[in-house]
Amino acid sequence: MNELIENKNLVVELKSLIASTKEQVAISVNSSLTLMYWQIGYKINEDILKNSRAEYGNQIVYAVSRQLVEEYGNGFSRANLFHMIKFSQVFDDFEIVSALSRQLSWTHFRKFIYIEDDLKREFYIQMCCLDKWSTRVLDNRIDSMLYERTALSKKPDELISYEIEKLKEGVVTPNMVLKDPYVLDFLELNDRYLEKDLEDAILTDIENFILELGAGFSFIARQKRVQIGEDDFYIDLLFYNRKLKRLIALDLKLGKFKAEYKGQMELYLKYLEKYEKEEDENTPLGIILCSDKNQEQIELLELEKSDIHVAKYLTILPPKEEFEKRLHKAIQNAKQKYQSRV
């Protein structure tokens, strides 16, 4: 009997060893290929394109590609060679590429090189490293304009750079996690609905709602009772975020944000801090989701300096071009306001 147990333990250990070795081999192969692609792109750029006219350079790349494809296959097509060239231009530090290649695939890099904004690109790189996003998840996050919807994107560039540097150390801030707006089109609500309908729809599809909230969220309670003296209050939804180490109180509002919602949320947060927060946790944070809001009101109430985040939610996603314009305008307005305060 003991021999059987020992054999089972041995098999488990051997399986673990094989799986670990296979994983390390895959990482090593991926890293080697990625570095080779960078070197190919760099060499073509330095030896051919840098001192050549664009048209002549294109002809040479085409000729080189034909010869490589004949011997090594379509991985060295003309289009792929230009990906490699751009790769070496965007990521011009080989040491950084070498370090990242242990965590990210060539397919990841092909996505990154066409993100023009440096800070936006760095945000997605670090999020991929931290949360181990597949390229499919990365595509989804980029298509949903995650970066543009984060609170971070509306901050000054210096602060964005600082928080991304902290992200490299594994430190996640609320600016990285909180969004505006939240896209809830998956709820498939009709034109007329009540707050309870919205809450019911969220709980019915809590998995997708948590995905929209972001990494690290877990659901705790619905209609969390807050008893203060003889008065009872109820938090619509209560979550916990393990990355922030915070309880997150979420209040749903059908209409436009009203100043009185601030006091209500402050009460919830004080209660949670006093009676629910564990010793090793950070102070609770509140999210007020509204169908609309007045940004000037938010600024006058100084909510951006508090632990209360007010955001809009969209039950119907507008056309992508219109959505992009709205988000870019919001980012531009926010940055201009920061500059005017300096």
Q: Are residues 84 and 204 in the same domain?
A: no
Residue 177, both tokens: 């996690």
Q: Is residue 335 part of a domain?
A: no
pLDDT band at 316 (very low <50, low <70, confident <90, very high): confident
| pLDDT(287) > 90 | yes
In the chain, what percentage of residues exceed pLDDT 70?
95
What is the per-residue pLDDT across 47-78, written as a single tens digit (0 to 9) for each?
876 656 666 778 888 999 999 999 999 999 99
Q: Are residues 197 and 310 in the same domain?
A: yes
Confidence band (pLDDT; 50, 70, 90) for 162? very high
Confidence label for 341 from pLDDT (cuts 50, 70 and 90): low
Higher-scoring residue by pLDDT: 51, 303: 303
Tell me if 128 is assigned to some domain: no
What is the arithmetic mean of pLDDT over 9-20? Answer: 82
CATH of the domain at 216: 3.40.1350.10
Residue 156: inside a domain, yes or no?
no
The pLDDT of residue 260 is 95
Please check whether residue 49 is in contact with residue 40, taking contact to mean a CB–CB distance below 8 angstroms: no
Together in a domain, 86 and 202: no
| pLDDT > 70? residue 6 | no
Report the pLDDT averaged over residues 28-51.
Answer: 88
Q: Is 91 left (phi over 0), alpha (psi -120 to 50) or beta?
A: beta
Query: Which structural domain, as residue segments, surrounds residue 298?
Result: 185-314
Distances (CA, A) of 217 to 177, 220, 238: 10, 10, 10
* Confidence (pLDDT) at 158: 93
**Would 148 be classed as within a structural domain?**
no
Q: Is 302 left (phi over 0), alpha (psi -120 to 50) or beta?
A: left
Cross-strand partners of 248: 239, 285
Q: Which of 288, 210, 282 is nearest to 246 (CA)?
A: 282
Domain boundary among 72, 91, 110: 91
> What was the pLDDT predicted at 25?
81
Query: Does residue 146 fall inside a structural domain?
Result: no
Q: Which two tokens stand for residue 106?
A: 């060539």
Q: Residue 336: inside a domain, yes or no?
A: no
Backbone φ, ψ for residue 47 (5° rounding): -85, -30
pLDDT digits (tens, 9 = 90+) for 111-139: 999 999 999 999 999 999 999 999 999 99
- SS3 category, 310: strand
Lowest mean pLDDT among 3-17, 89-103, 217-231, 238-252: 3-17
How many structural domains comprise the chain?
2
Radius of gyration of the chain (CA): 25
pLDDT at residue 2 in the model: 56
pLDDT at 1 over 70: no
Identify whether 33 is part of a domain: yes
| Backbone torsions φ then ψ of 271, nearest 5 degrees | -65, -50
Choose one of 54, 74, 91: the last residue of a domain: 91
Q: Which amino acid is residue 176, in one-letter code?
A: M
Query: Same domain, yes or no, for 199 and 307?
Result: yes
Query: In this predicted model, what pLDDT tens digit does every residue of 235-271 receive, in sequence order?
Result: 999 999 999 999 999 999 988 999 999 999 999 999 9
Q: Is residue 339 part of a domain?
A: no
Note the pLDDT of residue 113: 97
Structural domain ending residue among the three candidates 41, 57, 91: 91
**Mean pLDDT in the chain?**
90
* Stretch 76-104: mean pLDDT: 95
